[in-house]
Amino acid sequence: MHARQAQTKALIALAMGAFGIALTEFVIMGILPRVAGSLQVSIPQAGHFISAYALGVVIGAPLLAGISHRWTSRRALLALMVWFTVFNALSGLATNYGLMLVLRFLSGLPHGAFFGIGAVIASKLAREGREAQGIAKMFVGFTLANVIGVPLGTYIGNVFHWSLSFALIGGVGMLTVASLYAWMPEVSTRPSPTEKQGLSRLQKRDLLALLALTAIGTGGFFAWYSYIAPLLIEVTGLAPAQVSYAMILAGLGMVVGNMLGAKMVEWFSPVRAIVVGMSAMSAMLLLNSYLVTDPAWALFLCFAIGLVTFTLAAPIQMAIIDASRGAEMLASSWNQSAFNIANANGAYLAGLPIAYGYGVVAAGRVGAFLAALGAAIALGIWLHKRRRRS
């Protein structure tokens, strides 16, 4: 009983870290017009702050994941979260475009390594055969941030000042550091000789295909979510303060989708679950581009897109772990790099038609195309696996 309570507390600490990471990654999307106005840049230029954070994740994930080979998981996670807290708090003090760009990049560096180490530990803390449930419990923090933290940060940033949103992130970071210090056990993450040999498996075709799937397909969500504030304000006609309510609905969908995705891994194979989730995301994003002018439909589709997107969280993570036995932590960190390549690609590609005058609605159509490509890649992986088995 005591061991189970200790494992639960460790998962809560990981979930708190995921909460903070989701908060900084997504809250800027809800306050993007305020940040742009304050720093005197355009909306597409402000979208570069999203891409800068994502680039930090892409670079930081493989670089900082290496600390898990020298330190215990507790020490590594503490160091990563301290870094996260400092640079996110400083982001609220940025006074110009260049400084904000640099601080957002530095804030993103520990993100991938934290998730890469944390997701593997979460799977090991779960009972045998329920690894996806352990990962889903860590991701509960990520999804709850979109129900509570992101809407609250969006409200504060739009009603008062956007810098207070980053002060909130810094506070969550400090609480996470305290919880990791108190509850995370000393688990060695140094690779065994077998694991070191397993690092070469990162070149496997299956793993590379899965990383490509993440980098392209999940960009569909970010193409839509990066510009959700101007979409709902300019096209749907919501007041800036009402954007937070729409983001609560998206967050609730993410909570439901996260737990549903863990069940889908048990019902189907991880890759089949990805095919279903990606296809549903593409359909919902395309539908949203036609119905977003109606407030009722726009709010419903915020929930639906959040749901179908986060059915992918556990299946993708489990597929990556399955394809990289012996090098799970490094592969998991690379997956976070791929996820944030999707973040950068989604924000950038969706910003192009906006910059060329096609309107913010075009962002969702770009997203639908990216998700459809992801579904096609996932289907190809599944068919290849099926042929190989037969």
pLDDT one-digit tens code per residue, 146-187 = 788 888 888 888 888 889 999 999 999 999 999 998 888 776
Global pTM reads 0.76
Tell me which amino acid residue 121 is. I
For residue 89, pLDDT beyond 90: yes
Q: Where are the alpha helices (H) located in 92-235, listed in sequence order?
A: 97-125, 131-144, 150-159, 162-183, 193-198, 205-217, 219-225, 228-230
pLDDT tens-digit map of 368-383? 999 999 999 989 888 8
- 326: confidence class by pLDDT, cuts 50, 70, 90: low
- 340: confidence class by pLDDT, cuts 50, 70, 90: confident
For residue 73, pLDDT beyond 90: no
For residue 1, pLDDT beyond 60: no
Q: What is the structure's pLDDT at 305?
A: 94
Q: Are 183 and 10 in contact (CB under 8 A)?
A: yes
Nearest to 271 by CA among 366, 364, 389: 389
pLDDT tens-digit map of 178-234? 999 888 877 655 554 544 455 454 446 778 888 899 999 999 998 998 888 888 988
Give the separation between CA 336 and CA 365, rounded to whole angstroms: 24
DSSP 127: P
Show me where the domains of the chain are located: 2-184+201-389
What's the whole-number mean pLDDT along residues 128-139?
A: 71
At the fourth CATH level, the homologous superfamily of domain 2-184+201-389 is: MFS general substrate transporter like domains (1.20.1250.20)
* Mean pLDDT score across all residues of the chain: 83
Task: Give the phi and the psi of residue 123 in degrees, each rounded to 5.
Answer: -65, -35
pLDDT tens-digit map of 49-59? 887 888 888 88
pLDDT tens-digit map of 255-313? 899 888 888 877 878 888 899 999 999 999 999 989 989 999 999 999 999 999 989 98
Give the separation between CA 386 and CA 277, rounded to whole angstroms: 19
